[in-house]
Structure 1
Amino acid sequence: MTTRIPVPLTQFVVKMHSRCDLACDHCYVYEHADSSWRSRPKVIGEGILAKAAERIGEHAVAHRLSAVRVVLHGGEPLLAGPDRLRRAAEALRAALPADCGLDLRIHTNGVLLSRAFCELFAELGVKVGISLDGDKVANDRHRRFADGRSSHPQVLRAVGLLNEPEFRHLFAGLLCTIDIENDPVAVYRALAELRPPAVDFLLPHATWEDPPKRLPGEATRTPYADWLLAVHRLWETDARPFAVRTFESVHRTVRGLSSLTESLGLEPSDLAVLETDGTFEQADSLKTAYDGAPVTGMNVFAHSLDDLARHPGIAARQSGLAGLSGTCRACPVVRACGGGLYAHRYRADNGFDNPSVYCGDLMTLINGIAESGGSSSTPAPVPVQGGRPLLSTALAPAQLDELARGYGGAETVAALGKAQLSLTRAMLAAAWDASGQGRAAAWGLLSELDGVAPGAVDAVLAHPYARAWAARRIAGDLTVGLGPLAALAAAAAVRAGRGDSVPVPVRGGWLHLPTLGRVAVADGEAVVTGRPGGFEVRAADGSVTTVLDQPLRRIRLAGGWTVALEDLDPLRDSHDHPVAERLSEAELLGWTGALREAWELLGRDLPAYAEGIRAGLATVTPLRPGPAGRDVSSAARQAYGAVGIARPATAPTLALLLAHEFQHVKLGAVLDLYDLYDRADDRLYFAPWRPDPRPLEGLLQGTYAHLAVTEYWGTRTAAYDGLAGEAAERARAQFALWRRYTAEAVERLGESGALTGLGVRFAQGMGESVTPWLDVPLPAAAERAAERARAERTAGAERVERMVEA
């Protein structure tokens, strides 16, 4: 038996009750091959709950888990009663270490859901998922009481409760099991009318021994794919009004990203199930294969979760491509499909060494979704060095904690940069794939160079605005054309210096080579050739150029930080403010002096932030000045490593703007890797420093940026300790104001109820950073000045709030 744990377990299903108040005829627990429910206790015991919480807690500590998800399940979990559910939630929270978040959910048929249950779940932070198969006709086909009565009215009442303002944040979504006899349009419309944050459309459980339903005389061999594609078309037409994991997983996996569900993709399973008798089982879906299929022979008292993670059945669901049948491994859509749900591969003669019984449906679904988005079913070759994954969540829990407190040293920020480079590669692949150009010269050269000169490709793709083109193309903006991708390939060829050539379209008389500069060239198609130590550009008119007319200018600062002043790239207009044109020599000198002084101030006043800035901020894009007296700065979400700033009047202000905007850059990179909040939350929140309400991400971004602002004014205040004067008084007043604003914002984030378990942990880290500043004594005059400013802002926010409500 192996002693290594390939993947720690982070998702747990805890069976609270083994019976159900409905008699759904498609239920895998009671109606399929496994009959173990008959011999199990109806309700999970107190001792089992306590031991389970202890096991999960020790597993989290041993593997330094940043978060775990626990789903309270059944049967019907509400039958366990509110007291048992409360004790389960409290035991789990008490057992987990302080640095591990808990995403706690309950999945119910909704029949027993009441206001009292919702109030309990609001108190305990439990999100609620509801099973509903569509309109009344669709739902009544399977989800009935034992006496045949419809459950539809009770389920609608439950969803109505969750849609009330005080409980909306608890609503996790709906789970709909597909029946091809149901009208997909009617099902979709019925579910969409309920305004769910998410809907999971599930294939009914089936195996090669017990195949899925087929309709008599049906004209298609893939009815489940056709049903889902009909829903997908409506979902896209309606601008994706709610999350659908199946559709989003296909969109992600065909572009090399991770799946959001175990039924697609090649990600290893990290799920375990605890039954009411204390036994550990594998995924519940295996109950559809054969009697005893999920059994592990382990229980919560005699076995740790490490023991369970080593079980051969769980390991089999963690082996990726190697664990699939030969048919699957040879399939062109295998990385998107992943062989389908493990249980659906079962055949009596060879176990699970088969494609999914839904193989044809999955291929048709994946191809159909890919084609609807302008993509082919087999994505174009992606530059991937040495087989490395396209997107790597390469942050250790300690690094995420470091970032949560607002900081991030060189190693942590380098890890963020590595993940961003992977994401840039994936987005470029998706955008190029959607272009339909196949192995055109630019893409083919990038792919080739990635194998022989990976450093050259990395240097170009790490350019902050390399991804801006891909983001615009993916968003449907085709006005940017394909030229920027060709320019990236040309820049990589120049850096590689091997003699490779690539044609690049030229418009407006300039050929831009990202990370290098630009050349004045006649419009048309120029051919760029990389030479050892240089390059050659042959224009459409036959002229040849071997030098940059306007090189990208870089400023070397003390301590090894080199920053580019990007005033050339056509895609640098990704910021919220107009960009400056090419800097004059006098403007360049002004920027050079200001940056050198600002960098010295950052090292003195914000040393814990300066290290990350040096490691991750590669580019400053000059912006046009704002209105008189207003400083202008920006961070673009699709331009990691860059900030836009209009040079302010003083170096201290520039230092503050650099720190403030790089906070946005870091948090944007974190949000690309982790869900810190419920993205379906559509409420608006007031930040203490703004009169207008913002989405939750806006509040989160502002709070995170103001951690640095608070520390900046805190250290400036300390420097003025015992001194009088206007500068000292201003520093104290600003410190008093921003420490209070930031602490209040952290509190609002915690009260939102929309943070994930990991998001709660992240907010706690922010709180740990700002709280000590609240204890720093300040003169009464500074506190009064801060209170006046805060009162004025609060009054303005209240006026806006009344207008919004009206």
Structure 2
Amino acid sequence: MKRIPLPFSQFVVKVHSRCDLACDHCYVYEHADTSWRTRPKVIGDEVLAKAAERIGAHAAAHRLPGVRVVLHGGEPLLAGPDRLRGVAEALRAALPPGCALDLRIHTNGVLLNREFCSLFAALGVGVGISLDGDRAANDRHRRFADGRSSHPQVLRAVALLREPEFQHLFAGLLCTIDVENDPVAVYRALAELQPPAVDFLLPHATWDDPPKRPAGRGEHPYADWLLAVHDHWEADGRRFAVRTFESVHRTLRGFTSLTESLGLEPSDLVVLETDGTFEQVDSLKTAFDGAPATGFDVFAHSLDDVARHPGIVARQSGLAGLAATCRGCPVVRTCGGGLYAHRYRGHDGGGGFDNPSVYCGDLMTLINGITARSGPVPLPAQVAAPVVPAALAPAQLDELARGYGGADTVRALGRSQLALTRAMLAAAWDASGQGRPEAWALLSELDAAAPAAVDTVLAHPYARAWAARQLAGDLGTGLGPLAGLAAAAAVRAGRGDAVAVPVRGGWLHLPTLGRIALPDGEAVVTGRADGFTVRAADGSVRTALDEPLRRIRLAGGWTVALEDVDPLRDSHDHAVAERLPDGELLHWTGALREAWELLGHDLPGYADGIRVGLTAITPLRPGPAGRDVSSAARQAFGVVGIARPATAPTLALLLAHEFQHVKLGAVLDLLDLYDRNDDTLYLAPWRPDPRPLEGLFQGTYAHLAVTEYWGTRTLAYDGLPGEAADRARLQFALWRQYTAEAVERLAGSGSLTALGLRFADGMRAAVAPWLAVALPDAAERAARLAREERAMAGG
């Protein structure tokens, strides 16, 4: 089962094909393509069901960790709340386990009201709004068909999204540039709305229908316009994300672009129209009538079929797919030839898309202008050196291979993870264009003057999770978390250092400490020997946390935080719980005390590593009745997510199981145990869906602990009757066989390195003694029946 060269991970789903505005720069209705005229107004049930099925199958076949779906139009709100709910629920239900759905809607905002926002809050739908600036700028193009302004309605929509109840839904603003609008006035109008992000888009144009260039505005008016905005954005401290500017900064430093209109990264996006046809990107509608068409539809063709379409492939060919002029250009790796549609020239043998962008001169001027303004800024010496992780001794690797890991071994993993977090933070800051230099400078200074304070803060599990998101192009949080890390380090150092930290959603978060309720804006945090002070945007001063991070101290020296305040704790595959009320905190405390006692008794070989390595537990929302929910985030060492189960023994099992994932993730960051180019999918004995090799590795390793847990409990019940004893024997018989089969499947994959085969030998040695334990015939029969039933279900 092999992957296609590049699976789709982004989908635009047209839920309504008409619009309630008559914007004269709209690429759907006002450019060359006229296919909208023959399409159904609203996506139908059959199209929706088949589309969800196709997306789910594609995600499963290519083991996608997540997909982004944007609900679009026309104007998608015209589809109505019921249809939008159906779309969201169908998509979410169709995705395979472990595949996250990032669902968004892009709207002109005219119809957005409290009912829609409540629906989107319930469904987890982010909302992006089209707005071209102040009223004068917006009214230049975005009007109703009768000429009325849409600006007041859009401002009401944005105001609604800024309310505390809905603020987390606000995905940002999209602004189409018109060089006749004042760039500073446009920037100020948008900045006043405190968006999390703004996309400034060049108006769609081709060589056949070039963009307007008003007299007296210079040779490159679009570059000049954007550079004026860039300068104010920089001067204001980059208070919101701008993908265009951040993509230039990132690609200049060798990182990936965040937008298809820049950089050489291949496109992984496809569009589904209301009639079920697949199209390429919407911007192609500006080239010629029918330009986006693929000839494929959701009923007759899979997404793999669409991915092989020549037009899709052409947008994935990187440098080789550019015109000869572009391939030799000094800024090509940042420019990327510009947006594919903007290269089109059809008249007079123009070569189709084999041309530079019609904005070529503007793009070069913009890139050179940003380069000249930022210049090369070296990284601080303490983070510029390459990472040399703390090596594991051979005996420690063998110990981990058997599933265990004592205090010294897990501490070694922790040191290597801290080094990796430092490197990733430096890379994320550098890729961002080195915004918030005062926060970075303070972290660097404290790293020399108060290293213990910095180490404590950077060892916070979600510090690395933020860096990973930034490097992957998820800029929703901006550089605010970096300032938060600097502020927390300053508080811990207590030297009187001050740093400005953005407040969003009514909270100032200090990692490892807690959070303070403040008005949105920017607060200045000062660490003092006797605590801290926070001066809010409204001038008020605070000296205490409203919601401190709560820690539970357990016997044997284990202290674990219940992390229910960090906004980045949503890094798990399951929904996180809100701040725990005092009563629930007491339940957690009691359950953890019992579970910790059980771990020491039933899994002593695992308990010591948990004590030194598991620093936090993020409470998750409960799953469906009877289903336990737990998770380990690959980019967050030292934390697991768990919905508190009904019993302490189950909590003990979940802790051990998830910490196995944490340990193995750290090992895989250090060592190559398998061929990373192996894209074959493997069946795990306990799952119905095939998994990539790392998924099989992780599951097998986690079930070493599960096998020992049930084996120990089975031995404790030796000779005793009863329901609990029978259940332990059944689970033991089931999991020891599953785990042994999975070890052999790993070892026989042909993709393990020499170290990987050594690791597999250790896992085989760990499970072998448990295979030799004699069980009653009834337990073996029950386990065999359970395996057969699972196999018949697709396992």
Fold shared per TM-score above 0.5: yes
Q: Judge conservation of contact 1:12–1:272 (CA < 8 Å) in 2.
A: yes
The answer to which of 610-619 and 189-198 deviates more is 610-619
Q: Residue in 2 aligned with 1:325? A: 323
> Aligned pair 1:469/2:336, yes or no?
no
Match of 1:295 among 270, 293, 296: 293
Shift of the alpha carbon at 1:603? 2.5
Shift of the alpha carbon at 1:775? 2.5
Q: Residue in 1 aligned with 2:67? A: 68
* 1:52-131 → structure 2 map (5 Å cutoff): 52-131=51-130
Distance 1:759 1:167, change over 3 A: farther
Q: Residue in 2 aligned with 1:351? A: 352
Distance 1:104 1:602, change over 3 A: same
* 1:611-690 → structure 2 map (5 Å cutoff): 612-613=413-414, 661=459, 663=461, 667=465, 670-671=468-469, 673-674=471-472, 678-679=476-477, 682-683=504-505, 684=507, 690=514
Q: Which runs of 5+ in 2 are unaligned?
A: 423-441, 479-502, 515-544, 550-562, 573-588, 623-630, 653-795
- Deviations along 1:343-374, one digit per CA (max 9) or x if unpaired, are 00000121100000000000000011111112
Distance 1:312 1:664, change over 3 A: same
Q: Judge conservation of contact 2:342–2:359 (CA < 8 Å) in 1.
A: yes
Shift of the alpha carbon at 1:5? 2.1
Q: Judge conservation of contact 1:710–1:742 (CA < 8 Å) in 2.
A: no
Shift of the alpha carbon at 1:240? 0.8
**For the residues of structure 2 that align with 1:341 and 1:710, how far apart are their CA atoms?**
58
Q: Judge conservation of contact 2:564–2:618 (CA < 8 Å) in 1.
A: no
Q: Residue in 2 aligned with 1:46? A: 45
State the secondary structure of the residue aligned to 1:336. helix
Q: Judge conservation of contact 1:677–1:759 (CA < 8 Å) in 2.
A: no
* 1:81-230 → structure 2 map (5 Å cutoff): 81-216=80-215, 218-230=216-228
Q: Judge conservation of contact 1:18–1:42 (CA < 8 Å) in 2.
A: yes
State the secondary structure of the residue aligned to 2:41. coil
Q: Residue in 2 aligned with 1:397? A: none
**For the residues of structure 2 that align with 1:255 and 1:682, how far apart are their CA atoms?**
29
> Aligned pair 1:604/2:406, yes or no?
yes
Q: Residue in 2 aligned with 1:11? A: 10
State the secondary structure of the residue aligned to 2:69. strand
Code of the residue aligned with 2:195 in structure 1: it is P
Q: Residue in 2 aligned with 1:423? A: none
Q: Residue in 1 aligned with 2:395? A: 559
Distance 1:46 1:761, change over 3 A: farther
Q: Residue in 2 aligned with 1:541? A: none
- Deviations along 1:745-779, one digit per CA (max 9) or x if unpaired, are x459xxxxxxxxx999989x966657569623899
Distance 1:556 1:260, change over 3 A: closer
> Aligned pair 1:241/2:239, yes or no?
yes
Shift of the alpha carbon at 1:241? 1.3
Q: Judge conservation of contact 1:676–1:760 (CA < 8 Å) in 2.
A: no
Q: Residue in 2 aligned with 1:25? A: 24
Q: Residue in 2 aligned with 1:256? A: 254
Q: Judge conservation of contact 2:72–2:105 (CA < 8 Å) in 1.
A: yes
Shift of the alpha carbon at 1:469? 2.4
- Deviations along 1:601-641, one digit per CA (max 9) or x if unpaired, are 9823697x5784587577999xxxxxxxxxxxxxx9999x9
Q: Residue in 2 aligned with 1:510? A: none
- Deviations along 1:656-677, one digit per CA (max 9) or x if unpaired, are x999948567646644544778
Distance 1:322 1:235, change over 3 A: same
> Aligned pair 1:742/2:564, yes or no?
no
Shift of the alpha carbon at 1:298? 0.2
Code of the residue aligned with 2:504 in structure 1: it is D
Q: Judge conservation of contact 1:620–1:645 (CA < 8 Å) in 2.
A: no
- Deviations along 1:382-413, one digit per CA (max 9) or x if unpaired, are xxxxxxxxxxxxxxxxxxxxxxxxxxxxxxxx
Q: Judge conservation of contact 1:321–1:338 (CA < 8 Å) in 2.
A: yes
Q: Residue in 1 aligned with 2:369? A: 368
**For the residues of structure 1 that align with 2:474 and 2:228, how far apart are their CA atoms?**
32
State the secondary structure of the residue aligned to 1:236. helix
Distance 1:693 1:259, change over 3 A: farther
Q: Judge conservation of contact 1:285–1:343 (CA < 8 Å) in 2.
A: yes
Q: Judge conservation of contact 1:179–1:204 (CA < 8 Å) in 2.
A: yes
Q: Judge conservation of contact 1:19–1:76 (CA < 8 Å) in 2.
A: yes
Q: Judge conservation of contact 1:685–1:699 (CA < 8 Å) in 2.
A: no
Match of 1:313 among 303, 308, 311: 311
- Deviations along 1:256-311, one digit per CA (max 9) or x if unpaired, are 11000000000000000000110000000000000000000000000000000111
**For the residues of structure 1 that align with 2:412 and 2:547, how far apart are their CA atoms?**
33
RMSD, aligned α-carbons: 4.8
Shift of the alpha carbon at 1:79? 0.6
- Deviations along 1:400-451, one digit per CA (max 9) or x if unpaired, are xxxxxxxxxxxxxxxxxxxxxxxxxxxxxxx34xxxxxxxxxxxxxxxxxxx
Q: Residue in 1 aligned with 2:625? A: none
Distance 1:620 1:47, change over 3 A: closer
Q: Residue in 2 aligned with 1:795? A: none
Q: Which runs of 5+ in 1 are unaligned?
A: 376-430, 433-466, 472-484, 493-513, 517-553, 563-595, 622-635, 648-656, 723-730, 749-757, 780-806
Q: Judge conservation of contact 2:223–2:363 (CA < 8 Å) in 1.
A: yes
**For the residues of structure 1 that align with 2:593 and 2:421, how far apart are their CA atoms?**
23
**For the residues of structure 2 that align with 1:208 and 1:610, how far apart are their CA atoms?**
61
Q: Judge conservation of contact 2:633–2:640 (CA < 8 Å) in 1.
A: no
**For the residues of structure 2 that align with 1:124 and 1:704, how far apart are their CA atoms?**
18
Distance 1:246 1:667, change over 3 A: closer
Shift of the alpha carbon at 1:717? 2.8
Q: Judge conservation of contact 1:617–1:662 (CA < 8 Å) in 2.
A: no
**For the residues of structure 1 that align with 2:305 and 2:172, how far apart are their CA atoms?**
33
> Aligned pair 1:286/2:284, yes or no?
yes
State the secondary structure of the residue aligned to 1:209. coil
State the identity as a percent. 61
**For the residues of structure 1 that align with 2:71 and 2:392, how far apart are their CA atoms?**
56
Distance 1:714 1:237, change over 3 A: farther
Code of the residue aligned with 1:251 in structure 2: it is H
Distance 1:759 1:68, change over 3 A: farther
Code of the residue aligned with 1:354 in structure 2: it is N
> Aligned pair 1:267/2:268, yes or no?
no
Distance 1:212 1:762, change over 3 A: same
Code of the residue aligned with 1:190 in structure 2: it is A
Distance 1:662 1:714, change over 3 A: farther
* 1:407-806 → structure 2 map (5 Å cutoff): 431-432=377-378, 468-469=380-381, 559=395, 603-604=405-406, 609=410, 612-613=413-414, 661=459, 663=461, 667=465, 670-671=468-469, 673-674=471-472, 678-679=476-477, 682-683=504-505, 684=507, 690=514, 691=545, 693=547, 699=566, 717-718=597-598, 721=601, 742-744=617-619, 746-747=620-621, 771=644, 775-776=648-649
**For the residues of structure 2 that align with 1:283 and 1:206, how far apart are their CA atoms?**
14
Shift of the alpha carbon at 1:742? 2.6
**For the residues of structure 1 that align with 2:204 and 2:309, how far apart are their CA atoms?**
23
Code of the residue aligned with 1:353 in structure 2: it is D
Q: Judge conservation of contact 1:48–1:277 (CA < 8 Å) in 2.
A: yes
**For the residues of structure 1 that align with 2:352 and 2:570, how far apart are their CA atoms?**
53
Q: Judge conservation of contact 1:345–1:353 (CA < 8 Å) in 2.
A: yes
Shift of the alpha carbon at 1:70? 0.4
**For the residues of structure 1 that align with 2:269 and 2:420, how far apart are their CA atoms?**
42
Code of the residue aligned with 2:310 in structure 1: it is P
